[in-house]
Homo-oligomer: A and B are copies of this chain.
Amino acid sequence: MKERFSGTVLRNVEGADTKRPTMGEIGLNHFAPYLMNRVMSRWNANLADELKALDITTAKMRTLAILSITPSVTINELSVFAVTEQSTMSRTLDSLEEQGYIRRQPRSGDMRVRDVTITEEGRAAFEKLWPTMYDSLLQMFHGIEEAEYRAFISVLHRIMHNIRKHDI
């Protein structure tokens, strides 16, 4: 009979005799990237549905959220922060500009770079979305204590540090 898995999930296998645990030993439900992909796919789909009722896309919501707290950013930075492909981000910015929610201006000193800023109208539009976003966060973390939330965020920061390739 196979022994029950009782070891640690995160075994350091480098240069040691320690064997990797198998997928079966860890279990899909204890494999963090699996859970995170499942969770984010659902959260993104739920939020997109709620945003549809407010007549706005996820890419626009993310763009306004980022711009609401940043003085100005480039399209490059926006597409990384919003986890949105450059081509989609470019179309999103066209549309947000038409709606009067953002402005794009060539940077003085480097005319090839265009800085994106939010307008007062854009700010007002984001304020209307924010309760939906925030209440989704509350639903997501229902029953989770503030201290646990902080510990969770702290792990996410270290993961980000471990896997990031961008400088931004």
Residues of B within 8 A of A43 (CB): 33, 36, 163
Query: A54 an interface residue at 8 Å Cβ cutoff?
Result: no
Total identical chains: 2
Contact bitstring A109-130, B, C-beta under 8 A = 1, else 0:
0000000000000000010001
Smallest beta-carbon distance A5→chain B, Å: 12
Query: A17 an interface residue at 8 Å Cβ cutoff?
Result: no
On whether the beta carbons of A141 and B46 are closer than 8 Å, the reply is: no
On whether the beta carbons of B46 and A40 are closer than 8 Å, the reply is: no
Residues of B within 8 A of A11 (CB): 138
On whether the beta carbons of B42 and A10 are closer than 8 Å, the reply is: no
Given contacts A10-B138, A22-B130, A68-B24, contact A32 B152 (CB under 8 A): yes
Q: SS class of chain A's interface: helix, strand, loop or mixed?
A: helix
On whether the beta carbons of B130 and A20 are closer than 8 Å, the reply is: yes
Query: A83 an interface residue at 8 Å Cβ cutoff?
Result: yes
Interface residues of A in 1-23 (CB under 8 A from B): 8-13, 20-23
On whether the beta carbons of A153 and B39 are closer than 8 Å, the reply is: no
On whether the beta carbons of B151 and A139 are closer than 8 Å, the reply is: no
Q: Which residues of chain A have a CB within 8 Å of any CB of chain B?
A: 8-13, 20-24, 27-44, 46, 65-66, 68-69, 80-81, 83, 126, 130-131, 133-144, 146, 148-149, 151-153, 155-160, 162-165
25 A-B contacts (beta carbon < 8 Å) = A9-B137, A10-B149, A13-B138, A22-B130, A28-B69, A28-B81, A32-B140, A32-B149, A32-B152, A33-B136, A33-B137, A36-B156, A37-B44, A38-B83, A42-B163, A42-B164, A46-B163, A139-B162, A139-B163, A140-B162, A142-B162, A143-B162, A144-B155, A144-B159, A152-B152
